[in-house]
């Protein structure tokens, strides 16, 4: 078993971006500016946004956080989105999900200017990605692709099984893994809550990407010997033995699966850190006007 160490890989990527940003600014470029909107106080969202802010400071970005209570109306949130759309200093921004139930996530995502949609959720960016055109790729799938590239994991001709069909991870991941380039050229099976014989399908996977939000759902009997196992899950689970009162768990039972896997990502310290890198990369592209002039 080889560990796909998100901490080590993300540190290397951030080091590379930092050097590029310094050179960009030295040549007269504008300091990249990433903003985030956070609604409510979801634990996982708080953790992610805090990590984003730290990362921006590390690599020389400007960062802005707009906080709103869970009672904010959809109209008020749309106004905040429009304010960032029209702010010439903000290169890219995210609206942290999930949002309260009275707010339509699709309505909010579609209100984001595609040129500033560094999360890659807007239909314009999703459509461009599907057609293989230049676009912001969703941050988590982007991070997973980077892991595969830097570990030099062969994907061509492999069977990739994705558990989960979310617009954030599962759907874009299934599209990216079948495209005619590296990483890609996989035969892809996307599975979900209505899939029959899920365990048997997973047992045929050379690459298993798990993104369903159920702590330690995947055990060793789901996994083919030597498979690449990518765990996207991140859930706070009550743990009274810890000072914080909780533990972070992935969707894969790491201790059970690791001895059987060829490669595996830990949680924490895996895909979550790579997601930040995807976001930073997209923001720098936005600052340089690489995708949208």
What positions carry a catalytic annotation? 52, 96, 119
For residues 54, 125, 177 and 155, what is the CA-based torsion angle, rounded to 10 degrees?
Answer: -60
What Cα–Cα distance (Å) separates residue 254 from each residue in 51, 251, 265? 23, 9, 8
Residue 291 near residue 33 (C-beta atoms within 8 A): no
Q: How would DSSP label each residue in 99-157?
A: --TTS-HHHHHHHS-GGGBTT--SHHHHHHHHTT-S-PPPHHHHHHHHHHHHTT---TT
Structure tokens given for 251: 């969707």
- Residue 261 sits at φ, ψ, to 5 deg, of -80, 155
DSSP 194: T
Asked whether residue 10 is marked as a ligand-binding residue, the answer is no
CA distance linking residue 208 with residue 154, whole number of Å: 13
Asked whether residue 164 is marked as a ligand-binding residue, the answer is yes
Burial 31-69 (b: 16+ CB within 10 A, else e): ebbbbbbbbbebebbeebbebbeebbeebbbbbbebebe
- Residue 264's CB is within 10 A of a number of other CB atoms, namely 25
DSSP 252: B
Residue 160 near residue 209 (C-beta atoms within 8 A): yes
Report which secondary-structure segment, H or E, holds 231. Answer: strand 228-231
Asked whether residue 276 is marked as a ligand-binding residue, the answer is no
Strand-by-strand arrangement of the 92-95 sheet: 62-68, 33-39, 92-95
Binding-site residues for NADP(+), please? 164-166, 234
């Amino acid at each position: 078993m080889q560990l796909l160490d998100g901490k080590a890989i993300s540190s290397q990527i951030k080091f590379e971006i930092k050097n590029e940003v310094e050179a960009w600014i030295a040549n007269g470029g504008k300091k990249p500016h990433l903003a985030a909107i956070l609604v409510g106080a979801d634990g996982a969202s708080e953790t992610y946004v805090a990590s984003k802010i730290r990362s921006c400071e590390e690599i020389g970005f400007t960062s802005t956080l707009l906080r709103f209570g869970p009672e904010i109306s959809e109209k008020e949130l749309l106004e905040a989105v429009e304010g960032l759309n029209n702010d010439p200093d903000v290169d890219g921004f995210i609206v942290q999900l999930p949002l309260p139930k009275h707010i339509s996530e699709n309505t909010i995502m579609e209100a984001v200017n595609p040129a500033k949609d560094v999360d890659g959720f807007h239909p314009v960016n999703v459509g461009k990605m599907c057609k293989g055109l230049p676009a912001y790729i969703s941050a988590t799938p982007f991070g997973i692709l980077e892991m595969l590239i830097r570990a030099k994991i062969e994907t061509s001709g492999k069977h990739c099984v994705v558990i989960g069909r979310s617009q954030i991870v599962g759907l874009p991941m299934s599209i990216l893994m079948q495209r005619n380039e590296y990483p890609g050229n996989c035969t892809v099976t996307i599975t979900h809550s209505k899939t029959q014989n899920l365990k048997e399908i997973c047992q045929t996977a050379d690459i298993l990407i798990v993104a369903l939000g159920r702590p330690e759902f995947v055990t060793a009997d789901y996994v083919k010997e030597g498979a690449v196992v990518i765990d996207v899950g991140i859930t706070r689970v009550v743990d009274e033995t810890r000072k914080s009162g909780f533990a972070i768990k992935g969707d894969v039972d790491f201790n059970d699966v690791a001895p059987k896997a060829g490669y595996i990502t830990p949680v924490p310290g895996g895909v979550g850190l790579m997601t930040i890198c995807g976001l930073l990369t997209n923001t720098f592209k936005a600052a340089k006007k690489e995708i949208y002039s």
